[in-house]
Amino acid sequence: MAAQNGKDLLIKVDILGDGSFVTLAGLRATRISFNAESVDVTSLESQGGWRELLGGAGVKSASISGSGIFKDADTDERARQLFFDGEVPAFQVIIPDFGTVEGPFQVTALDYAGTHNGEATYELALASAGALTFVAA
């Protein structure tokens, strides 16, 4: 497999709540992380004293983060609305040559910054708020 272009990792939001996904404007860096809590079932009978984990148990979660240039586009307005209203709409993350992750996420952080001689920037963080689906590319 050839190296992938980082700009092709896209975060999209359901802009109208009708399944029409639009890429969040101005993002320069994006990241998705998957997590699964482990359930320790180690006991005195565990072979050699090694830890044992219960397969398929525990809470799964995903987090998305991104940062970029603030453009005051429709998607910026939607992200602000989602944060202040506490909504959990559908998001998509397009991972190049891997697939698409889709499901409900909540905006958990929204930061704006700027310097005297630079552009206005923003960062956002999202936390999964339900079951996610994955469709391979």
Q: Is the pLDDT of residue 1 over 70?
A: no
- Report how far residue 108's alpha carbon sits from residue 65's, in angstroms, rounded to the nearest whole number: 10
One DSSP character per residue, 24-41 reads PTTEEEEEEEEEE---B-
pTM, rounded to two decimals: 0.87
Over pLDDT 90: what percentage of the chain? 71
Contact 31, 66 (CB under 8 A): yes
pLDDT of residue 63: 97
pLDDT-derived band at 65, boundaries 50, 70, 90 = very high
Average pLDDT value for residue range 24-32: 90
Q: What is the mean pLDDT of residues 11-35?
A: 91
Q: What digits encode the pLDDT tens for the residues 125-136? A: 999 999 999 999
Instruction: Write the burial class of residue 6 (CB in 10 Å: 0-12 exposed, 13-18 middle, 19+ buried).
Output: exposed
Mean pLDDT confidence for 22-51: 92
Architecture, CATH, for domain 6-136: Irregular (4.10)
Helices (H), 31-136: 74-85
Domain layout of the chain by residue ranges:
6-136
User: With contact defined as beta carbons under 8 Å apart, do 60 and 36 qualify?
Assistant: yes
Arithmetic mean of pLDDT, 24-40: 92
68 pLDDT higher than 70: yes
